[in-house]
């Protein structure tokens, strides 16, 4: 017998794709079609159903970009189909585009109840399991003409500028205008059809066995046995009578499908899932509809397949359903009661975890978990975050404090330099907390359970031998869609099949419980999970990042002053208002909004939202401070300090009557062509080019800058990564640099030194200010930015031999090597820092603090004189063209500060001070802090009233220096009791970090390990 393997495999492909799949719906009759084009934004379902429809037919073009059209399809079941299963096949013009990235539709009955969604991989619609001849069929389709923003070709994606990413692309300048542009889609098929269940099952049999066969080595008997079974099945098929011969073909395959897996077969938990980006290549309003489509489809699939389970991982999306589509939400709750629909993930959205601040991450858990508890009665125990761009090292502790046991992600498999050494492990955070974690070895969170993906999971699994269990999240995603009946059919056939891993559709909790029991000595990974990819997300879309940073700090102030005013009496704490604002901020921390990787529509809308939140939070702060400041007397004013450290005579978290709101700026002194700022602590020399040539620590008698260098040096790089423009900064950007040394103006002013530079099509004005008593030189920048595919950095070359840099992250800081000894070190050529980045030697160092910058890099070089130059740079602006061709264009204001002679403790303090400026309010009352601490190492991150409206005061604090700390918390009110709680303000009875000392002068004694986060619930008593 000759080897004809390739011939049989080619035969299988052609018969399966050209004959068998079409034969599932071979008997068909056309439906009548009518259309109504919505003149503006999407309309409520009732309005779409009641619209005046006009004639349409298959072949018609429809849908300018981002528009909505409603289709009415109707017909009659032929009499000869009586008793047969009937479906509709509805193709809106999908072509071969992946689900969620082009047109989509949701089908409704005439009474407005949803049936299921339509997308390129899901065009069928249930009509009747046993039709009646003459039965009338009427359905409505809400069809979204979402454009294909990111085109894909064979094995590649294109990242060209898109003209359809902005709202104005279809609505023009005024909201509500008629959609513009050429129609994008063409109706392909609108039919009633008989569903041939036997042919469908034969397709699934051949699909699974054919894919499995191709993954087996050619020298194994099982591959050849499958080949023979496939050949026999193909021989049994009469291509002129597929329906009549399908059963015989299935019989030929039955023995091959009945062969059980070997005892050692890898075990895979298949978890139904649809990763729905809360915004990305579509606006937020479209995500609301994507969620409705996906949930409608998966709940319909649950009706047909009781074994099918599906996880939903973002509370915000379910909240949208509850608000906008209560009938779809009711179906989700119904299926949650049967154990099929599984609220998962513990977070409000799947956020970016590099840029999001610590308290905001805590609130992601608070609002996510509380929604699931309130709406579904479920205490979620996993953090489900498959797709974000790196994971900060504070997350394990935050997870534990939220009651989370397990962590799942997938994105680290995108590393471009180093392969992560484990798929199952324990992740240890900066405080020592460990969380059991899993990276699915399938290397995708959008699996379709193909033979190739299942086989890859087995081959790729890094922890073979020690454990034998992994997970696959399956279902079409990013743009939603979810699992299909074909995927469920694959899972069922692969439950116990020779040559394959064993697959079981399971809950995430089932997987994690079994995996943790199987692997009690799982290896430990310590510190951040740095993604060696998508480093540009730390910088793209500065306005959005500024809006987030500003909102986080304004929320801190609003809660602090409102709680203080409420505790002092006569002020209503704005619970509902703050709750709504927090949820809006958390929404915009989604991992394609805050990182700056969405279309223009998303980012311009976010900027508008942040501006509105700033105004609203400003009102809350002003109202509370007016209530606290008391009556004004003459020019008296109360200066409020929301920072966790005292300054200028104003206590931390309190206010005092004071004439001035800030220390005076040092007046520049001319020395030839140089201008000098000297306050007795530091002396800064600025030359005629506006560059810093000396930054001298007068106390230590030490120059901060490396010999022959200049600081505050703006540098412009070409920035054209190989792919993923807004996401990536590739290392080769450093090969091309232009130092911006020419100045149009260098002038002494009352605030310091003003420097103006023009470059390319852009312009920057800098004001360098040194205040009396300060070691921080402030640089205030106004940039009119009009570059394309450029990266703007600012460099500070320091005369410091620093083995590592120290960067603030949520609730602490981490150290990263400045050298590139290993590939892991070298890959961190762009790093994240929040409010500060510090470098130093023992006993002396310097820091850069900022108000809106996250991307940094640190390099080092040994000079000819034997000294080491450590250069710290901030990434200020980018200008990628995809997916938003106008990224960062326009005017920006940002600030950073150079702290000369700083330890890490100084950097912590100065970072807070820069981001939380004092506020002056007319008044005459001293405002004692609601809580006071006697240790600068212990930082108060939040002061608020308890969410249950009990009147308790909640204080969240942490150890900030990375060392064991003790402190005494003294309340500014009568204290009846103090309890340690989790993030959701529920008591942790075994926690011993806080010792409540009652009495007339009650206090709480704290003992904290390095970077420990502590939430205290303080119950006010009756004043004596």
Cα angle 768, 774, 780; round to 5: 25
Tokens of 126: 């249930």
Residue tagged 């989604």 (tokens): 590
Cβ atoms 574, 620 nearer than 8 A? yes
Helix (H) or strand (E) holding 900: strand 890-900
Residues in the chain: 1024
* Residue 39 CB coordination number (10 Å): 12
Burial of 895 (0-12, 13-18, 19+ CB in 10 A): middle
3-class state of residue 203 by DSSP: helix
3-class state of residue 333 by DSSP: helix
Residues ≥6 apart with Cβ < 8 Å to 377: none
Residue tagged 């909004």 (tokens): 593
Question: What is the Cα–Cα distance from 682 to 839, expressed in whole angstroms?
Answer: 18
CA distances from 340 to 305, 337, 720, 736, 849 (A): 10, 8, 46, 55, 49
Evaluate the CA torsion angle 139, 145, 150, 151 in order and state its sign: positive
Tokens of 188: 């392909």
- Beta strand spans in 542-668 (E): 637-641, 654-657
Query: Which listed residue (191, 196, 352, 387) is catalytic?
Result: 387
Tokens of 310: 């599906």
Residues ≥6 apart with Cβ < 8 Å to 551: 581, 585, 610, 613, 614, 617
* Residue 420 CB coordination number (10 Å): 15
CA distances from 268 to 176, 442, 501, 504, 506 (A): 49, 10, 7, 6, 9
Question: What is the Cα–Cα distance from 149 to 505, expressed in whole angstroms?
Answer: 33
Question: What is the Cα–Cα distance from 20 to 17, expressed in whole angstroms?
Answer: 6
Question: What is the Cα–Cα distance from 203 to 489, expressed in whole angstroms?
Answer: 10
Residues ≥6 apart with Cβ < 8 Å to 172: 180
3-class state of residue 420 by DSSP: coil
Tokens of 550: 């500003």
Question: What is the Cα–Cα distance from 534 to 628, expressed in whole angstroms?
Answer: 46
First to last CA, the chain: 101
Question: What is the Cα–Cα distance from 625 to 629, expressed in whole angstroms?
Answer: 6
Residue tagged 């409420």 (tokens): 566
Give CA 936 to chain center in angstroms.
32
- Beta strand spans in 585-681 (E): 637-641, 654-657, 669-671, 674-678
3-class state of residue 598 by DSSP: coil
3-class state of residue 825 by DSSP: helix
- Phi, psi at residue 246, to the nearest 5°? -65, -40
Cα angle 870, 874, 880; round to 5: 135
Residues ≥6 apart with Cβ < 8 Å to 173: none
Helix axes 600-629, 542-567, angle to 10 degrees: 20
Asked if 728 is an active-site residue, the reply is no
Residues ≥6 apart with Cβ < 8 Å to 953: 563, 567, 930, 931, 943, 944, 945, 946, 971, 973, 1017, 1018, 1020
Which positions are annotated as active-site residues?
387
């Amino acid at each position: 017998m000759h080897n004809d393997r390739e011939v049989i495999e080619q035969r299988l492909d052609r018969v399966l794709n050209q004959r068998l799949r079409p034969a599932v719906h071979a008997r068909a009759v056309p439906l009548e079609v009518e259309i109504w084009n919505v003149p503006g934004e999407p309309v409520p379902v009732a309005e779409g159903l009641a619209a005046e429809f006009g004639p349409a037919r298959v072949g018609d073009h429809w849908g300018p970009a981002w528009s909505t059209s409603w289709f009415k399809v109707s017909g009659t079941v032929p009499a000869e189909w009586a008793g047969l299963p009937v479906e509709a096949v509805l193709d809106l013009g999908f072509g071969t585009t992946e689900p969620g990235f082009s047109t989509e539709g949701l089908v409704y009955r005439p009474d407005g109840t949803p049936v299921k969604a339509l997308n390129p991989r899901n065009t069928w619609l249930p009509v009747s399991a046993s039709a009646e001849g003459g039965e009338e069929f009427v359905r409505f389709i809400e069809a979204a003409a979402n454009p294909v923003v990111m085109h894909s070709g064979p094995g590649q994606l294109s990242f060209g500028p898109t003209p359809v990413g902005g709202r104005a692309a279809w609505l023009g300048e005024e909201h509500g205008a008629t959609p513009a542009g050429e129609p994008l889609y063409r109706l392909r098929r609108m039919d009633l059809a008989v569903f041939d269940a036997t042919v469908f099952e034969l397709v699934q049999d051949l699909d699974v066995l054919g894919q499995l066969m191709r993954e087996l080595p050619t020298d194994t008997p099982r591959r050849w046995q499958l080949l023979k079974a496939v050949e026999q099945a193909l021989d049994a098929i009469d291509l002129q009578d597929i329906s009549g011969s399908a059963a015989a073909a299935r019989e030929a395959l039955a023995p091959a499908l009945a062969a059980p897996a070997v005892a050692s077969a890898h075990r895979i938990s298949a978890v139904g899932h649809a990763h729905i980006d809360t915004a990305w290549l579509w606006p937020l309003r479209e995500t609301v509809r994507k969620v409705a489509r996906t949930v409608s489809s998966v709940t319909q699939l649950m009706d047909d397949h009781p074994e099918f389970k599906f996880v939903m991982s973002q509370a915000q999306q379910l909240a949208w359903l509850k608000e906008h589509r209560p009938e779809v939400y009711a179906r989700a709750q119904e299926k949650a009661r049967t154990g099929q629909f599984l609220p998962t993930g513990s977070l409000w959205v799947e956020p970016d975890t590099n840029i999001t601040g610590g308290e905001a991450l805590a609130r992601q858990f608070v609002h996510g978990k509380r929604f699931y508890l309130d709406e579904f009665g479920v205490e979620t125990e996993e953090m489900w975050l498959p797709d974000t761009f790196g994971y900060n090292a504070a997350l394990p502790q935050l997870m534990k404090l939220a009651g989370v046991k397990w962590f799942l992600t997938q994105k680290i498999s995108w590393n471009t330099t180093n392969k992560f050494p484990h798929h199952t492990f324990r992740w240890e955070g900066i405080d020592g907390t460990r969380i059991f974690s899993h990276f699915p070895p399938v290397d995708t969170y959008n699996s379709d359970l193909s033979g190739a993906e299942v086989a890859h999971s087995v081959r790729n699994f890094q922890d073979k031998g020690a454990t034998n269990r992994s997970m696959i999240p399956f279902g079409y995603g990013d743009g939603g869609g979810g699992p299909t009946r074909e995927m469920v059919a694959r899972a069922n056939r692969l439950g116990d099949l020779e040559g394959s891993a064993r697959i079981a559709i399971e809950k995430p909790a089932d997987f994690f419980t079994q995996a943790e029991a199987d692997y009690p000595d799982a290896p430990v990974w310590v510190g951040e999970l740095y993604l060696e990819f998508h480093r540009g997300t730390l910088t793209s879309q500065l306005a959005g990042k500024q809006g987030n940073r500003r909102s986080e700090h304004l929320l801190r102030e609003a809660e602090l002053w409102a709680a203080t005013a409420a505790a002092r009496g006569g002020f209503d704490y704005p619970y509902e208002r703050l709750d709504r604002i927090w949820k809006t901020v958390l929404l915009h921390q989604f991992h394609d909004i805050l990182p700056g990787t969405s279309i223009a529509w998303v980012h311009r809308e976010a900027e508008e939202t942040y501006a509105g939140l700033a105004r609203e939070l400003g009102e809350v702060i002003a109202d509370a401070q007016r209530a606290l400041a008391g009556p004004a007397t003459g020019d008296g004013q109360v200066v409020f300090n929301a920072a966790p450290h005292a300054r200028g005579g104003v206590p931390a978290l309190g206010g005092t009557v004071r004439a001035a709101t800030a220390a005076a700026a040092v007046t520049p002194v001319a020395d030839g062509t140089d201008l000098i700022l000297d306050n007795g602590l530091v002396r800064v020399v600025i030359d005629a080019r506006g560059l810093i040539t000396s930054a001298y620590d007068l106390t230590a008698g030490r120059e901060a800058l490396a010999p022959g260098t200049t600081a505050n040096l703006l540098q412009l790089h070409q920035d054209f990564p190989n792919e993923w423009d807004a996401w990536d900064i590739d290392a080769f950007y450093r090969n091309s640099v232009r130092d911006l040394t020419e100045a149009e103006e260098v002038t002494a002013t009352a605030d310091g030194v003003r420097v103006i530079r023009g470059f390319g099509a852009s312009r920057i004005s800098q004001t360098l200010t040194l205040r009396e008593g300060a070691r921080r030189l402030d640089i205030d920048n106004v940039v009119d930015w009009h570059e394309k595919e450029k990266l703007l950095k600012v460099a500070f070359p320091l005369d410091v031999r620093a083995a590592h840099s120290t960067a603030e992250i949520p609730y602490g800081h981490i150290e990263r090597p400045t050298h590139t000894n290993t590939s892991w070190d070298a890959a961190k050529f762009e790093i994240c820092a929040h409010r500060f980045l510090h470098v130093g030697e023992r006993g002396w160092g310097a820091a850069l603090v900022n108000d809106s910058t996250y991307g940094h890099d640190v390099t080092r070089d040994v000079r000819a004189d034997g000294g080491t130059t450590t250069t710290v740079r901030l990434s200020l602006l980018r200008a990628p063209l995809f997916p938003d061709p106008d990224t960062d264009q326009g005017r920006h204001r940002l600030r950073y500060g150079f702290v000369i002679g700083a330890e890490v403790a100084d950097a912590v303090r100065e970072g807070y001070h820069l981001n939380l400026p004092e506020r002056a309010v007319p008044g005459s009352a001293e405002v004692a802090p609601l809580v006071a601490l006697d240790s600068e190492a212990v930082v108060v991150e939040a002061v608020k009233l308890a969410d249950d409206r009990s009147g308790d005061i909640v204080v969240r604090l942490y150890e900030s220096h990375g060392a064991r700390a003790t402190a005494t918390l003294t309340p500014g009110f009568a204290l009846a009791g103090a309890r340690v709680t989790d993030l959701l303000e529920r008591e942790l009875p075994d926690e011993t970090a806080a010792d409540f000392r009652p009495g007339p002068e009650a206090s709480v004694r704290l003992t904290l390990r390095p970077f420990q986060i502590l939430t205290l619930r303080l119950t006010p008593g009756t004043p004596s």
